Amino acid sequence: MAEKILVIEDDEAFRTMLVEALSTRGFSTVCAGSVEEGMSRLAEGVFDLVLTDVMLPGKSGIEAVSLIKELSPQTDVIVMTGYSTREKALEAVRRGAYDFFSKPFSLTELEIVIRRALERRGLRAELASLRSSLASAKGVPTIVGQSEGMRRVVEMIHRVAGLDTTVLVTGESGTGKEVVSDAIHALSRRAAGPFIKVNCAAIPENLLESELFGHEKGAFTGALALKKGKFELAQGGSLMLDELGDMPLFLQPKLLRAVEQKQIERVGGGRP
């Protein structure tokens, strides 16, 4: 099926030329002469891309970007502008437009940017589908609760799951900290990777450093081969450290380095 493009341009001659050029390149096009007309077209159907001029009667193309993104967040917008309105086009990009072109422009160059934007849209859709499939396959934990506090917890889970950051989950014993951790991992971009859990209180103090950071061959008696620690094994996924408060003080600086600088050093190693 041909990708559907909405063209918002008040210059009839330029609009006709643009529509003919896009049609010959295999795109399905719909025209509008103003932002208001364009928003009506957008409300009537789904468009893969919107191509809009900046200087339009009524609302401007810059205002259109915000309106389009509000009505159809997944639709990319490319802005066309005259040289004198370049700054306005940059403002449109800051508002969420994918790219902009100064008139006159090369149709070949425009086609390249359009196809790149459409490819990105397709990849976003595939990623969303993959995340949904992974969540179903792995089973995102169901968090039961209708109270205001539980609703805030669920909102926070969805907010932090998309971030590549360290998350501290606190709460009394039995309140579901591990369930929350499972949900964060399952909803994150790292869901396809391993999810390794370590109970810091269950590992003897003299073995914890090697378990977390690994050791080199010969680092100590019995270290007959190189061993990767939990941090390395969780690469590309998530690592949950349970009962973190029971970690011995001498390991905390090394843990801080791993969390803040994303660097670890195996026991007996000479470099990160």
Provide the pLDDT for residue 81. 83
Asked if 32 contacts 41 with a C-beta cutoff of 8 angstroms, the reply is yes
Provide the pLDDT for residue 223. 81
pLDDT at residue 200 tops 80: yes
Provide the pLDDT for residue 131. 56
Task: Give the model confidence (pLDDT) of 161-170 as tens digits.
Answer: 888 889 999 8
Asked if 126 contacts 119 with a C-beta cutoff of 8 angstroms, the reply is no
Radius of gyration for the chain, computed over Cα atoms and rounded to the nearest angstrom: 27
Mean pLDDT of 12-24: 92
Task: Give the model confidence (pLDDT) of 20-33 as tens digits.
Answer: 999 999 999 999 99
**Strands 28-32 vs 4-8: parallel, antiparallel or unpaired:** parallel
**Domains (ranges, CATH) in the chain?**
4-132 (3.40.50.2300), 148-261 (3.40.50.300)
Provide the pLDDT for residue 264. 85
Q: How long is the chain?
A: 272
Confidence band, pLDDT 50/70/90 cuts, at residue 36: very high
Tokens in use for 6? Answer: 């909405």
Provide the pLDDT for residue 171. 84
pLDDT at residue 101 tops 70: yes
Asked if 79 contacts 52 with a C-beta cutoff of 8 angstroms, the reply is yes
Confidence band, pLDDT 50/70/90 cuts, at residue 114: very high
Say what percent of the chain tops pLDDT 70: 90
Provide the pLDDT for residue 105. 82
Using alpha carbons, select from 51, 53, 111, 40 the residue that is nearest to residue 76: 51
pLDDT at residue 142 tops 70: no
